[in-house]
């Protein structure tokens, strides 16, 4: 028989600090799945195309930094053990996206956003507050966030150069995973946020995308 370990509040805070470091430090995350880009061929792109793709992938990388922070914040304050476990599992799956994006950015000769620590802190706080309000709101926030991410991924897929199959493979797999996370959160009892709340989340997302495209 296996027993589940119960962490004290101090243990959880230490785990959160460790996760934050592994999220923010370059090349510190270990993916559970290999990048979908591995099997795609290298192609030559113009300098302008390369800079644009790097900017898009930097946005998506920061989005995954935010996702890690959001899930960790929610896991810290979740009321039900099964909700906490679901958040932690989702965070593990998002590590793949984080590493894949970083790998692709480095391949393109660029860098991740210097604003990542700021966005991590903000997202962690939002997640923790959502978890304090209720698990239903917390799960609903996951669903609304993932739907917003899928919208951005669709836009980025349309902007990629046709020949950039490496970036396309990454974003398509990310979209599939995010759609699954969103539906799972709603099926678990997540609250469906009204349109005004989603609009506000969209505005915040635009601030993130505009600021991280270049820096």
Name every residue whose Cβ is closer than 8 Å to that of residue 123 and which is 6 or more positions away in sequence. 65, 66, 67, 68, 69, 70, 73
The tally of CA atoms less than 13 A away on the side-chain side of residue 123 is 26
Q: Does 178 carry a binding-site annotation?
A: yes
Q: Does 180 carry a binding-site annotation?
A: no
Which pair of structure tokens corresponds to residue 206? 């635009």
Closest CA to 43 of 157, 166, 173: 166
Name every residue whose Cβ is closer than 8 Å to that of residue 129 and which is 6 or more positions away in sequence. 73, 77
Q: Does 183 carry a binding-site annotation?
A: no
Q: Does 64 carry a binding-site annotation?
A: yes
Which pair of structure tokens corresponds to residue 119? 């966005």
Residues annotated within the binding site for Fe cation are: 64, 94, 97, 146, 178, 181
Residues annotated within the binding site are: 64, 94, 97, 146, 178, 181
């Amino acid at each position: 028989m296996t027993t589940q370990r119960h962490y004290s509040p101090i243990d959880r805070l230490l785990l959160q600090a460790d996760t934050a470091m592994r999220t923010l430090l370059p090349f510190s995350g270990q993916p559970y799945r290999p990048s979908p880009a591995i099997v795609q061929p290298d192609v030559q792109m113009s300098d302008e195309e390369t800079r644009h793709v790097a900017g898009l992938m930097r946005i998506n990388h920061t989005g995954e930094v935010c996702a890690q922070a959001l899930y960790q914040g929610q896991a810290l304050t979740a009321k039900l053990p099964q909700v906490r476990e679901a958040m932690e599992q989702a965070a593990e799956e998002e590590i793949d996206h984080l590493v894949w994006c970083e790998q692709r950015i480095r391949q393109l000769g660029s860098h991740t956003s210097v604003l990542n620590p700021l966005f991590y802190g903000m997202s962690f706080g939002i997640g923790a507050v959502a978890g304090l309000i209720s698990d239903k709101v917390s799960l609903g926030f996951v669903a609304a966030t993932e739907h917003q991410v899928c919208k951005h991924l669709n836009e980025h897929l349309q902007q990629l150069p046709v020949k950039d199959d490496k970036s396309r493979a990454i974003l398509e797999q990310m979209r599939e995973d995010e759609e699954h996370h969103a539906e799972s959160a709603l099926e678990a009892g997540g609250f469906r946020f009204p349109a005004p709340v989603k609009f506000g989340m969209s505005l915040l997302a635009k601030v993130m995308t505009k600021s991280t495209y270049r820096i």
